[in-house]
Structure 1
């Protein structure tokens, strides 16, 4: 079922499927064919830049929406046209500050590419049409995380205790102990966990790079899960798989 020729990193977010869906949505969009072409070409430039597929999905969707805000093709827009777009973004009450920031950052990046082509990153200055746009978030608007927003160790213990299956106990415990992104934990394979005489060592790769932390608190939970894992002898199998009748034994996905 799981072979060595499979992608070394599992896609628990189904980004490939979502990327194809975003292209399909773009193709069916009522925006002009010219703007569709420009978005597709910019996506190609982002791929050559090695931008993650998740960011490219966001860029395609954002530019599709921005195109609907404009009355002209991207390459025909004036500075005033873009100022009107920014005004529409800023007056979207249902959008968070972070979403508005993302939209503006993508617009600025896109128009830099539109002005300079695929070598746009070699240019320090932005073109005049977009150089006026501010994309930083004011310090007073920065999201704040309160202590009450963070689960305590006691609350984590309660979550682990009420979890009925060893898989869930191991997953919750490792998320807490490693402090890793859910994508880093969720994309692990059997071969990414090894054990010495002390405890398990986890081979993690993500945005923060590669590291091999040791787990202590999670060690017994992971051991219990691996003991009953149906593919524990297959190094390329996902560490986390579905348990129910629907999609049973398939890799676990994160919606």
Structure 2
């Protein structure tokens, strides 16, 4: 049951939120200010004039988009199966799928490297797409299954009476109602993939296949480093995901809270 907050409680809560927001905003402000020192906009021009920078952007876009599409296909089908198509041992299989939440990506780095090398995926998009999709499935499946559980079974039963098969119920009933949670999963997957630094660092050693997160290292030399240009590169890398979050914020709020109330 919800209660009305008193004025003092509202002020206290707003102050706490302001403090929490400052913890995140202040470093960003410092990032932008430091990127403008020692040359102002010339630092950004130097980054944009980097010959491989457009290629880095293209690689990141290809990888992130592929991760989103593959993840949404896998997670939506799996969540539908676990939520609406009951089968023997479904709870045990679902629990096994969630084990990935307990394993940090760094702990999987050596096995992943051996697997990528065995598949001859080094210096390819697959070396970045495959591990990212695999690492994103457990959490995405958890929130998608919880959201699908909220969809009334009566809707599926009505569609079945009308002659719809399992695939028809998934496409015409589940997917339209699951847009908020699937949008949330897609945005989070895109952000994580766009910001991924570890996988390109380990699996890619060909410059033309690097992603945009590798751009700052071109301004870090063995004996000298131009950190103003490094910070400018970081700001440019951040712009696309900030824009994506601004336009997808309302879907993320609905998607993350779906399944929270039974």
* Greater fraction strand: 1
Q: TM-score, normalised by structure 2?
A: 0.24
* Greater fraction helix: 2
Q: TM-score, normalised by structure 1?
A: 0.24
